[in-house]
Copies of this chain bind each other. A is one copy, B any other.
């Protein structure tokens, strides 16, 4: 998968933050010309399609500062360094929803913004959920509200743009096909 490869001539680090870092690479294009690529590095993330015993989707509403609005999403969170995605998935599900799961299946991985970022999301399906007695703590800067909705309600949320992100739009179609 190296078709049209762009070889790095020089890499210029611009910013290193808590979550992301940014660099600008000088590259050689397939035709021999040169160009610049602005690249955001991200640790990667997991997202979980969590299904309750009565077939509802578990969703969380949270404020997304880049969009300056709150949106409704499937539970998700960043990988810690060296962490197995399945471990992250169980941790994030517990922290954001208070649910544990007896069944966790890996579904697929996809890049979210391959034009400018290396973020990938590892997507899981969690079933046979149970309420954790002592709910794990959210990160100190994280505030979420829990919802449990039918697939039809989720589709309505897509239509009125309360659901407004790619992973959750994917999850709604997946639920519709697999219910």
B173→A118 contact, CB < 8 A = no
Taken together as a complex, chains A and B put the C-alpha atoms of A29 and B25 apart, in Å, by: 35
Number of interface residues of A (CB under 8 A): 75
The interface bits of chain A over 135-179 (1 if a CB of B lies within 8 angstroms of the residue's CB, else 0) are: 000001101110000000000001001101111111001101100
Interface residue from B3, B45, B76 paired with A63 (Cβ < 8 Å): B3
A118→B177 contact, CB < 8 A = no
Complex interface: chain B residues within 8 A of A40 (CB): 20, 22, 40, 66, 116-117
Q: Which residues of A contact B (CB under 8 A)?
A: 1-6, 14-15, 17-20, 22, 24-25, 27, 29-31, 33, 35-42, 45, 61-67, 69-71, 73, 76, 78, 108-121, 140-141, 143-145, 158, 161-162, 164-170, 173-174, 176-177
